């Protein structure tokens, strides 16, 4: 078993059209072009930025979706729910991540926020699920259209936004969940099982926490997938920045002088001669190229 096994469970959920209500048929995943954002890590969080052409796009790291009729540039980041006032959290319960979004260039036709609500007669009733807006300390709510995994907002204006439900209705609703199973490789049978709502931010936080808790197979992973890492890792520069203090300025400069991302990654890997260095690379991959780790783990 890998460090993490994932199983999706949608309990008693179905995407059903409730006539006259605010549901919307989910567009097939193939209709959304995946975009890998640039990541800028700060002490507090990670800020994502992305530029895209006209069309329908989805962020590979956050599941945020957007549609535009022309070129557009976005910046966004996850925000902690505890940053909101206690009154808001007392009256409303989260149904997805809280995201701070800004459009730095162009105009969006629509944005779709990820949620973990099961779309049924309860969630589709009038005003059950809303979009929460927080801007300059002012709170407002907006109706939205739900699909199986996202909530659509047309002609959006931005701030901190999230999908919420009134607290008194929360216990009557069903939610999409994932089961995450972690195993300690040094124990014959030591499983940690978590049932979480389907939330990318929560999932990544749990992954990082368990990676720190266990003796994680960083060096083993890097050795096993060396060839694929050279081919698939795109954000070599921020990864090299993370490694600079360990490999030194001279080797860092040689990586920077390499022309293609494949050459940069191959040069970096050639310098990693100890388990400690490979372990540090694995940690950096979790931060910057988490989807690559997931892909390689799933492919064996």
Helix (H) or strand (E) holding 46: strand 46-52
Q: How far apart are CA 119 and CA 125, in angstroms?
A: 10
Q: List, in order of start, the domains of the chain with CATH numbers.
A: 13-170 (2.60.220), 217-299 (1.10.533.10)
Could you tell me whether strands 72-79 and 65-68 are parallel, antiparallel, or unpaired per DSSP bridges?
unpaired
pLDDT at 118: 87
pLDDT at 26: 44
Q: What is the pTM assigned to this prediction? A: 0.63
Residue 269 near residue 226, CB atoms below 8 Å: yes
Q: How far apart are CA 289 and CA 219, in angstroms?
A: 16
Q: How far apart are CA 8 and CA 23, in angstroms?
A: 22
What is the DSSP annotation of 27-38?
Answer: PPGGGSEEE--E
Residue 144 near residue 129, CB atoms below 8 Å: yes
Neighbouring residues of 165: CB distance < 8 A, sequence distance ≥ 6? 92, 93, 95, 117, 123, 128, 129, 130, 173
pLDDT at 271: 94
Beta bridge partner(s), residue 105: 73
Tens-digit pLDDT string for the chain (300 aa): 344 444 444 443 433 343 333 444 444 555 899 999 998 877 667 899 999 999 999 999 899 999 999 999 999 999 888 888 888 888 889 999 999 999 999 999 999 999 998 887 666 665 778 899 988 878 888 888 888 889 998 888 778 889 999 888 888 888 888 888 877 665 556 778 888 888 888 888 887 777 666 655 688 889 989 999 999 999 999 999 999 999 999 999 999 999 999 999 999 999 998 888 998 999 899 889 989 998 888 876
Sign of CA dihedral 63, 36, 214, 186: positive
């Amino acid at each position: 078993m890998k460090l993490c096994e994932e199983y999706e469970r949608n309990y008693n959920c179905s995407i059903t059209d409730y006539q006259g209500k605010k549901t919307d048929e989910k567009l097939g995943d193939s209709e959304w072009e995946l975009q890998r954002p640039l990541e800028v890590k700060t002490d507090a969080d990670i800020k994502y930025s992305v530029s895209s052409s006209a069309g329908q796009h989805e962020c590979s790291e956050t599941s945020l979706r957007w549609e535009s009729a022309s070129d557009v540039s976005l910046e966004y980041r996850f925000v902690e729910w505890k940053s909101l006032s206690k009154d808001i959290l007392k009256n409303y319960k989260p149904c997805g991540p809280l995201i701070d979004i800004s459009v730095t260039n162009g105009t969006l036709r629509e944005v779709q926020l990820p949620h973990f609500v099961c779309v049924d007669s309860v969630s589709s009733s009038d005003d059950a699920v809303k979009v929460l807006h927080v801007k300059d300390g002012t709170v407002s709510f907006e109706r939205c259209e739900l699909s199986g995994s996202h909530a659509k907002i047309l002609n959006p204006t931005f701030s901190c936004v999230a999908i919420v439900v009134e607290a008194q209705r929360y216990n009557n609703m069903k939610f999409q969940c994932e089961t995450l199973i972690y195993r300690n490789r040094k124990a014959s049978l030591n499983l940690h099982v978590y049932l979480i709502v389907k939330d990318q931010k929560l999932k990544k936080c749990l992954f990082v926490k368990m990676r720190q808790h266990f003796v994680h197979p960083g060096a083993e992973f890097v050795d096993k997938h060396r060839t694929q890492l050279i081919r698939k890792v795109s954000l070599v520069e921020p990864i090299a920045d993370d490694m600079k203090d360990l490999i030194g300025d001279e080797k860092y400069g040689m990586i920077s002088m390499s022309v293609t991302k494949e050459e940069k990654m191959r040069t970096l890997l050639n310098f990693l001669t100890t388990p400690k260095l490979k372990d540090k690379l694995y940690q950096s991959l979790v931060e910057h190229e988490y989807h690559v780790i997931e892909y390689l783990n799933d492919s064996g």
